[in-house]
Chain A
C-alpha cells in the first residue's frame, strides 16, 4: 500500500545532479576521438541520467518532461549510421569510408570536423533508445 510519499531530498538533488550527468555524458561523447569516451559510454551515461529521473519521479512525469518514443530513437540512430556509410558511396569510395577536414568556425576557432562523429551520433542514439526501451518495458509491466 503506497501512501503519500515524501521524496523532497531525492527529487531536489535529482534536478541538480541530472544536469551534471547529462553535461558529462555530452563531454564524453564529444571527447571520443582524442580521449577515452565516445558514443557508447555517452549514450549509457545519458540514459543513466534519465533513469535517475525515473527513480525520483514516476514514468508518466518523465514521459511528460521528455516526450520521446525511444523505439523511434533506435531507428533514427540506425539511419544515421547507415547514412554515413552510404554517403561514402556517392563519392565513389568504399562503404563506410570517412572524411575529415579542418574548418574555422566563428566561435570555436580551428576545429576538425569528421564524419565519424555522425556515425558516433548513431551509436549514441541507439544506445539511449535500447537502454530506455528495456528499462521502461520492464518498469511498466505489472
Chain B
C-alpha cells in the first residue's frame, strides 16, 4: 500500500466517523428524556462529528488537489471553541428559566446554592 491509498482510507474513515457521530446525535436528541441530557448529546457528539468531517474534507483537498484550505482549519478551531459554549449557554438558560430535571435524577446542587444565596441575601 502506498501513501495515497492510506490517506484515502484515513479520509474515508474520518468522513464516515463524522457522519456516524451526527447520526448518534440525532438519536440522542430523539431518545434522551430531558433538556440537559439532550444538550449533552448534541453539544458533544455533533461537535466531534462536524470536526472530523471538516478534517476529512481538508485532507481530501490537500492530498488530491494540493490545495491548502486554511479556512477549514479555522472552522475546526472555531467550532471547537464555540459549540460547547453554546451548549453551556442553552443549558444555563433552561435551568434559570425553571426547566425541570428528569424525574429520575437524584442530585441538583445548583438548587441548594440558589436557596443558600437567597437566605444570605435576606
Q: Which A residues contact B (CB, under 8 angstroms)?
A: 9-10, 13, 16-17, 20, 24, 27
9-residue interface stretch from B11-19, B38-46, B80-88: B80-88
A17 to B85, CA, bound (A): 11
Find out whether the CB atom of A17 lies under 8 angstroms from the CB atom of B89.
no
Find out whether the CB atom of B78 lies under 8 angstroms from the CB atom of A17.
yes
Interface flags, B69-92, vs A, CB<8A=1, else 0: 001001001100110010011000
B36 to chain A, nearest CB (A): 17
Find out whether the CB atom of A17 lies under 8 angstroms from the CB atom of B82.
yes
**Given contacts A9-B88, A10-B89, are A17 and B81 in contact (CB under 8 A)?**
yes
Report chain B residues within 8 Å CB of A16. Answer: 81
B95 to chain A, nearest CB (A): 12
Find out whether the CB atom of B82 lies under 8 angstroms from the CB atom of A13.
yes
7 A-B pairs, CB-CB below 8 angstroms?
A: A9-B88, A13-B81, A13-B85, A16-B81, A17-B81, A20-B77, A24-B71
B65 to chain A, nearest CB (A): 15
B67 to chain A, nearest CB (A): 12
The residue in chain A whose Cβ has the minimal distance to the Cβ of B78 is: A20
Q: Which of A9, A20, A24, A27 has a CB less than 8 Å from the CB of B85? A: A9
Q: Which of A10, A13, A20 has a CB less than 8 Å from the CB of B74? A: A20
Report chain A residues within 8 Å CB of B74. Answer: 20, 24
A89 to B80, CA, bound (A): 51
